[in-house]
Amino acid sequence: METFIIATKNQGKVKEFRELFAKYNIQTVGLEELDKDIPDVEETGATFEENAALKAETISSLLEIPVLADDSGLEIDALHKAPGVYSARYAGEDKNDQRNLEKVLEEMSDKENRAARFVCVLALAVPGQETVLKRGTCEGSILYHSKGENGFGYDPVFQPQGYEVSMAQLTAEEKNAISHRADALRQMEEFIQSNRV
Ligand SMILES: O=c1[nH]c(=O)c2ncn([C@@H]3O[C@H](COP(=O)(O)OP(=O)(O)OP(=O)(O)O)[C@@H](O)[C@H]3O)c2[nH]1
Ligand SMILES: [Mg+2]
């Protein structure tokens, strides 16, 4: 089976990419599964696009092969699109999903407008070629309490539009049918197919 490198150290993303790529018969490997010591890429960009490109291009140059990266996060309208690109570090540099989600619940406790969306920008960096960027979204709203155990990150406090349950109460299959990550990957499909390694 062919293998694609995903420039991520987030095990929640690694699991979802493994599931999403199965239908292409492509195996995906995250950075922590490689037999090499890969340094952390500093996410200094102001946009998802900049950070996704930074991660994909840095790791692609290092390994000299095509690499896909994902920069994603939660945009909440009542918080002027926060936490946005800071989603992983919202409650501090230690990247704690539980504390991040508690901070969102606290900031949102007095807000009437609950509208929010997950955003995922995928960057495909291929040596010698221009990086391809695709943005996927999943619209929804912020709950008042966490619900559910599946998924990762903010899934327990996010209710996708048209559902009465949180993203963390969906099965992996159900999340993968509607997620921001799946949306971005669908748009990236032709570029993935033409760079099979
Ligand atoms: O509930 C969620 N369901 C999702 O489907 C999802 N996708 C992203 N996120 C949040 O946004 C941050 C991304 O930050 P991010 O793109 O910098 O990733 P990261 O730092 O975790 O790993 P890496 O890929 O950079 O190595 C993550 O940590 C999560 O908090 C999600 N939350
Ligand atoms: Mg990150």
> CB atoms < 10 A from the CB of 43, how many?
16
Binding site members for substrate: 8-13, 72, 152-155, 175, 180-181
pLDDT in tens, the chain (197 residues): 689 999 999 999 999 999 999 999 999 999 999 989 999 999 999 999 999 999 999 999 999 999 999 999 999 999 999 999 999 999 998 999 999 999 999 999 999 999 999 999 999 999 999 999 999 999 999 999 999 999 999 999 999 999 999 999 999 999 999 999 999 999 999 999 887 75
**CA–centroid distance, residue 89 to ligand 2 (Å):** 8
E strands of the chain, at which residues?
Answer: 2-6, 26-30, 67-76, 82-83, 115-125, 132-142, 158-160
Minimum-distance ligand to the CA of 88?
A: 1
48 within ligand 1 shell (Cβ under 6 A)? no
Q: Which pLDDT belongs to residue 195?
A: 78
The whole model's pTM is what?
A: 0.97
Q: What is the DSSP letter of 104?
A: H
ipTM summary value:
0.98
**Which residue has a Cα nearest atom 14 of ligand 1?**
88
Active-site annotation, residues: 71
Q: 49, 106, 45: which is closest to 76 by C-alpha?
A: 106
Query: In ligand 1, which atom is closest to the CA atom of 40?
Result: 26
Q: Which residue segments constitute the domains of the chain, with CATH numbers given?
A: 2-193 (3.90.950.10)
How are beta strands 132-142 and 115-125 bridged, if at all?
Answer: antiparallel
Supply the Cα-derived Rg of the chain in whole angstroms: 16
Query: In ligand 1, which atom is closest to the CA atom of 48?
Result: 16
By residue count, the chain amounts to: 197
CB 134 within 8 Å of CB 184: yes
Q: Which pLDDT belongs to residue 121?
A: 98
* Cα distance between residue 157 and residue 148, in whole Å: 9
10 within ligand 1 shell (Cβ under 6 A)? yes
> CB atoms < 10 A from the CB of 167, how many?
27
* Cα distance between residue 48 and residue 43, in whole Å: 9
155 within ligand 1 shell (Cβ under 6 A)? yes
- Bridge partners (DSSP) listed for residue 160: 140
Q: Which pLDDT belongs to residue 197?
A: 54
Q: Which pLDDT belongs to residue 194?
A: 83
* Cα distance between residue 52 and residue 144, in whole Å: 31
